[in-house]
Homo-oligomer: A and B are copies of this chain.
Amino acid sequence: MTETRQQAERARKAFLKLSAVVDRSAILKEVAAALRQHASSIFAANARDLAEAKEKIAEPLCKRLVLNESQLHEVITGIEQISEMKDPVGCVLEETKLDDGLILRKVQTPIGVLAIIYESRPDAGPQIASLAIRSGNAVLLKGGREAAQTNAAIGAIFRQVLQTHGVEDAVQLVSTREEIAELLNMDDLIDLVIPRGSNAMVRMIQQSTKIPVLGHADGICHVFIDEFADVDKAVRIAVDSKAQYPAVCNAAETLLLHSQFAGREKVLAALKNVGVELRDSGFGSEYLDLIMNVKTVNSLDEAIDHIHRYGSAHTDCIVTENETNARRFLNEVDSAGVFWNASTRFADGFRYGFGAEVGISTNKTHARGPVGVEGLLIYKYHLIGNGHIVATYTGPQAKPFLHRKLPLQ
């Protein structure tokens, strides 16, 4: 058995203990304190990673490697907040009285073993690992090679704390590049893969595993300016959706303009004014830059068809004062986020009020859109009886079930 497989088996055992026995809130408080206490050793490791990287990789990639004081502070504060979240494990979601003395409970539980695969930025690992611990999941962390020493320093601190609670294998680092393929093959031991990184990396992962992948590759978002749009709102929303921060997945890549919309020139001028280059082709491209495709459409239907053809089902917006058109757009566009008179840039777990974000999913099952801790949870059914058997409820003298929903506490 390979080392990675042994790690996954140990993670599975640790998950069973972590989900049932341990004070997960205390663990997170201690992790936060230990990270604060050992900050200097983390910065030293990060400095070594950076020095080595500067000889090998380009400047922008090096920048993403940096873990400075304010970033680490943010990670630690985040973990403290997560430690204070209400424990989601064991929460009763539904309760049904099947018969006298026979109670069915749908109980929230962790998923199991998660593999988190993240590229250079070293803060994604501890953030998601903390959410995983909060919700009782074990994690295998596969960070970028360039940040190996930073990741090792952080991982050692998690492990030290987890060890004192008897669950040291609940967070483990997986360390060589070759192991990604191996992780993606272990669908018998790993329940969910969470990739954080470039589109190319996410797409590669989605295409090479049967394990469910929580995330998204492309973010090809649209702003459709309807013929009944308010010109000022159209200008504000087009500019914010494209230019407020163009390097992220929820920035818009395509502007669809109704041919009867009166403010066309104002919108285009405003975009050019903030430095946006306008193009009339490349509708499947995610530029992540101050470049925007512009297309004229003759109807709402044409806009919706375009979005379904070229979009990535991430986030799409209609600007209109016509409620009928807005309702049709909201109902008919099959994307994780469908917005009316609001910038696509709002598609984000923190802005939605989730407190913590695992990622943004364009999946059609389990979790969709910005995903908070609930994306790391599932449920099981507890059935509590007193010697009840099915024979009582079958055949010609079958006793009927009550199936009475009980109020939740």
Which residues of A come within 8 Å of B, CB atoms?
Answer: 16, 19-21, 90, 96, 98, 102, 104, 109, 111-112, 191-192, 206-207, 209-210, 212, 230, 232-233, 236-237, 239-240, 244-245, 308, 328, 330-332, 334-343, 345-347, 351-353, 364-366, 368-370, 378-391, 393-394, 401, 403
- Given A365-B365, A365-B366, A380-B337: A387 touches B111 (CB 8 Å cut-off): no
Residues of B within 8 A of A209 (CB): 210
Which of B212, B230, B338 interacts with A382 by CB under 8 Å? B338
CB <8 Å contact, A391 and B244: yes
A403 to B378 Cα, complex, angstroms: 25
**Interface pair B212/A384, CB less than 8 Å apart:** no
Find out whether the CB atom of A338 lies under 8 angstroms from the CB atom of B380.
yes
Could you tell me if A385 and B339 are in contact, using CB atoms closer than 8 angstroms?
A: yes
Complex Cα distance, B136 from A332, in Å, reads 12
Taking A112-B364, A212-B212, A383-B346 as contacts, is the C-beta distance between A244 and B331 under 8 angstroms?
Answer: no
Q: Within 8 Å CB of A191, what residues of B?
A: 364-365
- Chain B nearest CB from A342 CB (Å) reads 3
Question: Which of A111, A308, A365, A388 has the most CB atoms of chain B within a 10 A radius of its CB?
Answer: A365
A-B CB contact pairs (8 Å), 25 listed: A16-B334, A21-B332, A90-B331, A96-B353, A98-B353, A104-B353, A109-B334, A206-B210, A233-B387, A236-B389, A237-B387, A239-B389, A240-B389, A240-B390, A244-B394, A330-B382, A337-B383, A339-B382, A339-B383, A339-B385, A340-B384, A342-B383, A342-B388, A364-B378, A369-B380
The CA-CA distance from A133 to B203 in the complex, in Å, is: 31
| Cα A296 to Cα B137 with chains together (Å) | 31
B residues near A212, Cβ cutoff 8 Å? 212, 365-366
- The answer to whether B378 and A341 touch across the interface, beta carbons within 8 angstroms, is no
Q: Are A331 and B20 in contact (CB under 8 A)?
A: yes
Contact of A98 among B96, B352, B389 (CB under 8 A): B352
The 3 A-B pairs with the shortest beta carbon distances in the complex, nearest first, are A342-B385, A353-B403, A240-B389
Other-chain contact of A16, B192, B332, B341 (Cβ < 8 Å): B332
Does A351 lie within 8 Å of B390, measured CB to CB? yes
| CA–CA, A383 and B223, complex, Å | 13
Told that A112-B334, A239-B389, A339-B384 touch, could you supply 20 new A-B pairs with CB distance under 8 A? A98-B346, A98-B353, A191-B364, A206-B210, A240-B389, A240-B390, A244-B391, A330-B382, A330-B384, A336-B380, A340-B384, A341-B384, A341-B386, A342-B384, A343-B388, A346-B383, A346-B385, A346-B390, A366-B378, A368-B380
The docked-state distance in angstroms from the alpha carbon of A289 to that of B179 is 42
Question: Is B388 touching A341 in the complex (CB atoms < 8 A)?
Answer: yes
Write the chain B residue with the least CB distance to A89: B331
Instruction: Provide the residues of chain B in CB contact with A210, threshold 8 Å.
Output: 206-207, 209-210
B residues in contact with A330, CB < 8 Å: 382, 384
